[in-house]
Amino acid sequence: MNNNCPKISVVMTVYNAARYVRAAIDSILIQTFTEFEFIIVDNCSSDRTVEIIESYGDKRIILIKNNENVGQTKALNIGLQESSGNYIARMDADDVCVPERLQLQYDFLEEHPEIAVVGSSWIYINDEGRELRTYHTLTDPVDIRCALVASGDLTSWCMPHPVILARKKVLADVGFYTEEAKYNYPQDYDLWSKLLVKDYQFANIRQPLLKYRILESSESRGLKDNQLLEYRCKITSRKIKAFLPEIKTFDDLVLMLEFRPQRSFEAGERIFYLFDQYFDGVMKKSRDVKKLSVWKKKIKLYYIPQLLKTNKFLSIKYMLCVLFTDPALFLNGRFLRKLVKCYFPNRINQKLYYK
């Protein structure tokens, strides 16, 4: 790295990551793009993590050692506040980047100034680093935005957090990460929700740029259902209220979040009514008025199939309207796959996620 400010700040938090951290660090240091700094925030590790990091002696590595474990979210904000690059690359201590990752993402954002955050597809690896399968995520900004708007869960499958490159000024504009979201699981979804409300655009590179390690000890796997619902309600309710400020009751928010079969026809009907209003509010706040018609069509790819879980009668009635008004959309392959997934989730998951 030269004496000028780096163009990219790679930010990684670590806690007792001695088993995998060397592979993660090596994959960053061998990047074909070289104008970066590597900020590593240690959350008071008790194993050899810090010793391994300090053994590198690479000037690009900036090690910040917390005196106590402040949680991953606050540690990320500490790293962001110390960063000097115009772009922020996220990295996890148990994952591995392909050598071209930073170059491809940097070039993409330079060529697409309208995009705030770019991710990529990824490869799942196991505990030992063996490749399991490839996940090709959405790439079109409108598709991604529709998926984020229509999603009531926290998986953020369409914007993979560990492989993003974001404009720092955009992250600063939404206050970086919300430290109230102390668990790792809703952390990225919370950030995407804040960016979504401000109409920032997302994109993904189709080429897999990260090897994502699946670990049974993942923090999100330890969260209980009631904890997930609590954080989901907090995060998504903010998103809903931003686009549908007239919503009054918490019960209505929960109905909108859950997409689960309701006890009464009236409850399912209310969800349909609320979501129609919600999506109208989202589209009205879109900067690109010309894309509104595309928006309305693509949102149905996510909206209608998911609501089959809520009220099948209303969904079928709504689909018949789509069939007569927009048959091309109804026959769209992705739309039909989502319908099948709602009825046969186990079978379709095997086809979509395993090679």
Higher pLDDT pick, 176 / 226: 176
Q: Is the pLDDT of residue 313 over 60?
A: yes
Q: Please give the residue range of the domain that contains residue 76.
A: 8-222
* pLDDT reading at 15 higher than 60: yes
Render pLDDT for 19-45 as a digit per residue (tens, 0 to 9).
999 999 999 999 999 999 999 999 999
Do 25 and 145 lie in one domain? The reply is: yes
Q: Give the pTM.
A: 0.79
> Both 183 and 274 in a single domain?
no
Which of 222, 254, 269 terminates a domain? The answer is 222
Q: What's the pLDDT tens digit per position in 271-289?
A: 667 777 777 777 676 665 5
More confident residue, 266 or 69: 69
123-133 per-position pLDDT tens digit: 999 999 999 99
Residue 187 — very low, low, confident or very high, per pLDDT cuts 50/70/90? confident
159 and 65 in a single domain? The answer is yes
Q: H helices of the chain, where?
A: 21-29, 49-54, 72-82, 101-111, 141-150, 168-173, 187-197, 225-243, 250-258, 265-284, 292-307, 312-325, 327-330, 333-343, 345-353
Q: How many structural domains are present in the chain?
A: 2
Residues 74 and 194 occupy one common structural domain: yes
Say yes or no: 198 and 264 in one domain: no
**pLDDT greater than 50 at residue 353:** no
Among the candidates 187, 222, 257, a domain finishes at 222
**Domain co-membership, 155 together with 18:** yes
What pLDDT was estimated at residue 29? Answer: 98
Q: Tell me, what's the pLDDT at 228?
A: 63
Confidence class for position 245, pLDDT limits 50, 70, 90: confident
Per-residue pLDDT, averaged over 82-87, amounts to: 97
User: Between β-strands 115-125 and 201-213, what pairing exists: parallel, antiparallel or unpaired?
Assistant: parallel
3-state class (DSSP) for residue 323? helix
Please say if the pLDDT value at position 169 is more than 80. Answer: yes
Please report the pLDDT score of residue 267 as a whole number. 66
